Structure 1
Amino acid sequence: MSATTKSRKKPQLTVSGKPQLTAAGFSTKSHMKNATVLPPPTAGAFDERPLDSKGTDFRYFYERGDFPIALEHDTKGNKIAWKVEIEKLDYHHYLPMFFDGLCETTHPYQFFAERGVHDMLEHGGSKILPVIPQLIIPIKKALNMRNHKVICTTLKVLQHLVVSGEMVGEALVPYYRQILPILNIFKNNNLNSGDGIDYGQQRRENMGDLIQEVLEAFEQYGGDDAFINIKYMVPTYESCLLN
């Protein structure tokens, strides 16, 4: 007997002794008596999408030295040392680039992008509102990665963005169609730890809770049309104002 014959696997048999046949659902073979219909493939809605191997534009500009920032250590941990006053920065140029860095998951890019965004939102004031259209694509890109840490970071940024300046919440309403679909997918993504301690909740990394907080902030600061637009994209959302 040759090695090829020995390595050849015998087909699995059914109870009747006939070879077992696997077939895709609704195919011609699936109607055969000895056919086992395969389950449908998973949609992959929750599967993480990898970041492009080239990284983000934020990483490129950071490595090129385009940002007026440096890493500073103090007793409370790491923070950004800005080489210029934040209020004097060109927000149309820098803020979208820092938002682009929200997709990063490695140090120091992730730290500088997240901390830089919060620093600029804290000191931006009236400079933030005109830049809103430029922020939507980076926000959507970060959420679409479906990475737990990236989504949680972006949700915290959205909460800060809504309250960062006058009319910012209302300016976001036309962009709910780009932002909210991913939130609708992960809205019920809550960890049930039973009697255990959910340390993620202490660190504000429970995605379902963060999404609920963001939706409520959108409704509170989005004006009269906010709720109906949220409800259209997230049907299970219940108003925190009307109730």
Structure 2
Amino acid sequence: MASRGRATESQVLSLDSNDAGRPPSSAGSSRPNTSGGRSKKPKLSEFRQFLETEELPLLIETRHGVRRVTWTASLEQLDFAHFLPICLSGLQEKLEPYPSFAFDAALGLLESGRRDTRVLKALPQVVQQLKSALSTREKAVVHRVLLVLQQLAVCECVGSALADYYRSLLPLCNILQDKHLGTGDSATKELVAEALETMEAYGRDDAHLMIQQYVPAFQSCCGA
């Protein structure tokens, strides 16, 4: 009976384990690096740094073979202006499971703060992280950002406030739809359209006109 119960309970994982998505170690190789130059290590996001040093109130669990992160602190007590931008910084990570963990952690915060102004107060830092991630033009990163943007726009008072940041976000959305300049695939175009429609629906009365300034091909979904 004990073994059956152990199979379904949460298991805390270490990011140092082999199945945590780390690249294989080269510590066993005795050959020196003869490439003629130093290999440039990718810059780690704040999210990854804090997760690896256990400075975030997050628990890494595996349930039924799926690894997830859950918040261990009361979300109502968290400083969103601090933690939400940190989570969003992890969207640019390429090595799994970091971007997936960052995405899940960010969505948890957005869901918790949907009906109050905690997300609104963090908006300047949030937009900065989203703009940086969109600028990578990497499909997986862009798709996560666009999904986050949809959830962001429906938070209390955020839809209207986003109008002040259209200049930062929408030119990138317009580029991403271009088959030559952006990812150019149908999935990206669809996610961009959904994000813009959500921003219009929860934005100001003239949101469709403001969006069209930066994305000329945008068609209003509100009958304007």
Same fold (TM over 0.5): yes
Task: Give the 3-state SS of the residue equivalent to 1:94 in structure 2.
Answer: helix
**Distance in structure 2 (CA, Å) of the matches to 1:128 and 1:52:** 33
Aligned residues: 178
**Distance in structure 2 (CA, Å) of the matches to 1:235 and 1:75:** 46
Residue 170 of structure 1: how far off its partner (Å): 0.5
User: In the alignment, does 2:144 pair up with 1:153?
Assistant: yes
Q: 2:78 aligns with which of 89, 98, 102?
A: 89
Residue 190 of structure 1: how far off its partner (Å): 3.3
Larger Rg: 1
Residue 76 of structure 1: how far off its partner (Å): 7.9
User: In the alignment, does 2:218 pair up with 1:223?
Assistant: no
1:162 corresponds in structure 2 to 153
Q: Which deviations, in whole Å up to 9, do the C-alpha atoms of 1:86-111 show, x marking residues without a partner?
A: 22211111111111111112123212
**Distance in structure 2 (CA, Å) of the matches to 1:112 and 1:86:** 16
2:215 corresponds in structure 1 to 234
**Distance in structure 2 (CA, Å) of the matches to 1:99 and 1:233:** 24
Contact 1:69/1:80 (8 A) holds in 2:
yes
Residue 233 of structure 1: how far off its partner (Å): 0.3
1:190 corresponds in structure 2 to 185
Contact 1:56/1:104 (8 A) holds in 2:
yes
- Give aligned-pair identity as a percent: 37
Contact 1:59/1:109 (8 A) holds in 2:
yes
Residue 78 of structure 1: how far off its partner (Å): 2.7
2:57 corresponds in structure 1 to 68
Contact 1:99/1:117 (8 A) holds in 2:
yes
Q: 1:129 aligns with which of 120, 129, 135?
A: 120
**Distance in structure 2 (CA, Å) of the matches to 1:160 and 1:114:** 12
Deviates more, 1:66-75 or 1:151-160: 66-75
Q: 1:110 aligns with which of 74, 99, 108?
A: 99
2:13 corresponds in structure 1 to none
Task: Give the 3-state SS of the residue equivalent to 2:59 in structure 1.
Answer: strand
**Distance in structure 2 (CA, Å) of the matches to 1:218 and 1:187:** 17
**Distance in structure 1 (CA, Å) of the matches to 2:211 and 2:41:** 30
Structure 1: which 5+ runs fail to align? 1-50, 192-205
User: In the alignment, does 2:156 pair up with 1:176?
Assistant: no
Residue 141 of structure 1: how far off its partner (Å): 0.4
**Distance in structure 1 (CA, Å) of the matches to 2:193 and 2:70:** 33
Residue 154 of structure 1: how far off its partner (Å): 0.4
Q: Which deviations, in whole Å up to 9, do the C-alpha atoms of 1:25-52 show, x marking residues without a partner?
A: xxxxxxxxxxxxxxxxxxxxxxxxxx98
Residue 187 of structure 1: how far off its partner (Å): 2.2
Task: Give the 3-state SS of the residue equivalent to 1:180 in structure 2.
Answer: helix
Structure 2: which 5+ runs fail to align? 1-39, 179-183
Residue 61 of structure 1: how far off its partner (Å): 1.9
Structure 2 counterpart of 1:145, one-letter code: T
Matches within 5 A, 1:11-26: none
Contact 2:143/2:191 (8 A) holds in 1:
yes
Contact 2:70/2:105 (8 A) holds in 1:
no
